[in-house]
Amino acid sequence: MKEVALKGYAAELVTALLKSDFATLNRIGELLLEKKRSGNTIFLIGNGGSSATASHVTNDLVKGCRVAGQPGFRAICLNDSSTLLTCLANDFSYADVFAILLETYAKEGDVLIAFSGSGNSPNVIRAMEKAKELDVSCIGFGGRDGGKMKPLCDLSMIAPTDSMEMLEDLHLIYWHDLVCSLRESLQCACLC
């Protein structure tokens, strides 16, 4: 292994980060603050590494955005219950697991945030289609060209890279950036 290759990955990641669409990230933050004020729920989904990101982000929204003794966001990661997920996958299909959960839990005005490197995962696409039926806003965090997920999104944050590893890194960087900004906005609202 060569140190130069390790530095090359980091340099390429920084370049992609600086090419990112931070105006869209800001709009995502504004939408989430609006949904928090109106008491809506944020649902998060993903597969594989994106599943871990969805779970991590849920933690950041619920706990990391607690400010001045006030609760964080109402956020639920739909892929966190392996029991429920495997039951639905076994009895229905894996492609329908998130759509079934949204149909069960979501209400008009809620938000679905999907993480998908390819943007083509059938269970993510079906969940977003179900969200549209339920009048639930869709936010996508993707990569490459955004895949089939992109046109289903009200807001779409596409990591400007074809590397799955880098786009997964960027999704977490976007969220940590967003959570710090959300916390600051919530702090200002508490002090005003």
Give the integer Cα–Cα distance in Å for 29 and 67: 16
pTM over cut 0.75: yes
Q: What is the chain's Cα-based Rg?
A: 17
Give the integer Cα–Cα distance in Å for 116 and 144: 10
User: pLDDT for 154-177, tens place per residue?
Assistant: 999 999 999 999 999 999 999 999
Give the integer Cα–Cα distance in Å for 127 and 151: 13
Domain annotation for the chain: domains and CATH numbers: 3-191 (3.40.50.10490)
| Distance from chain centroid for Cα 36 | 16
Give the integer Cα–Cα distance in Å for 79 and 148: 20
User: pLDDT for 60-117, tens place per residue?
Assistant: 999 999 998 899 999 999 999 999 999 999 999 999 999 999 999 999 999 999 999 9
> In Å, what is the CA distance from 69 to each residue of 65, 85, 192?
10, 33, 15
| Residue the block writes with tokens 């779970």 | 55
